[in-house]
Amino acid sequence: MNVQQNFDRQSIETFVLKKHPKFRGDLPSGVSCEPKEVTSKIQDVLEVLVVDGNHENGSSKVELIRRLGHTVRWAVDGHQGLRMAATHRPDVVLLNIDLVPRDGCQVATHLRVDFPIENILIIGVATTAHKTLRQRCVQAGIDLVIESPIDGDVLEILLLLECVRLHRVRKVELTQLAKSNSCKGDPPADPENGWLMSIQMRSQTNSYLVH
């Protein structure tokens, strides 16, 4: 791995090593454990939707995500979650699997109609993530399942990784848009404002039906 040419990966490794000293060891060349290395590279703010009908659990998740610096909204059931997802287009959905009357897997199935894998991260939260449940979650389009109570450090790392992934996805989208404009003779996309343009275009082309 060329650390000098891959600052996103370096930032992730720096963060993990800083938060979890037991994972230290021989550091790759160019990797530092100084926290400023992380904040100077990854500064994205994610739009997170929490879907949880338990008031205590939901409020604690919302507070944790806010402390991590991200924008967060809270839906108390699957129907409200689908409506809020259609309106606010979140980057991440933190989904309680034990929702009623429509459980988390059913909600995820409807979400995936409008949100492909590359556009949104769906994290399922379950009391016990046994093998059968994990298989159901995978079939429903949930990306990963974590057990409650949620470890704040684990969630922080997952959201940081999603920041990096979205940065790369939107960078590719911007590059493709610039090439397309170049072929048409239009001005190239502004690299500073290209992310917003990409998000707006994606929002305009997606349609969402709540059943």
Contacts of 186 (CB under 8 A, 6+ apart): none
Check pLDDT > 50 for residue 21: no
- pTM of the entire predicted model: 0.66
Specify the pLDDT at position 8.
45
CATH of 44-211, one of 3.10.520.10, 3.30.565.10, 3.40.50.2300, 3.30.450.30: 3.40.50.2300
Exposed (0-12), middle (13-18) or buried (19+): which is 18, by Cβ within 10 Å? middle
Check pLDDT > 80 for residue 149: yes
Q: What are the boundaries of each domain within the chain?
A: 3-39, 44-211
Distance CA 99, CA 76 (A): 9
φ/ψ bin of 50: left (φ > 0), alpha (ψ from -120 to 50), beta (otherwise): beta
| Per-residue pLDDT tens digits for 162-200 | 998 888 887 887 888 888 777 666 555 554 454 444 444
| Per-residue pLDDT tens digits for 58-88 | 999 999 999 999 999 999 999 999 999 999 9
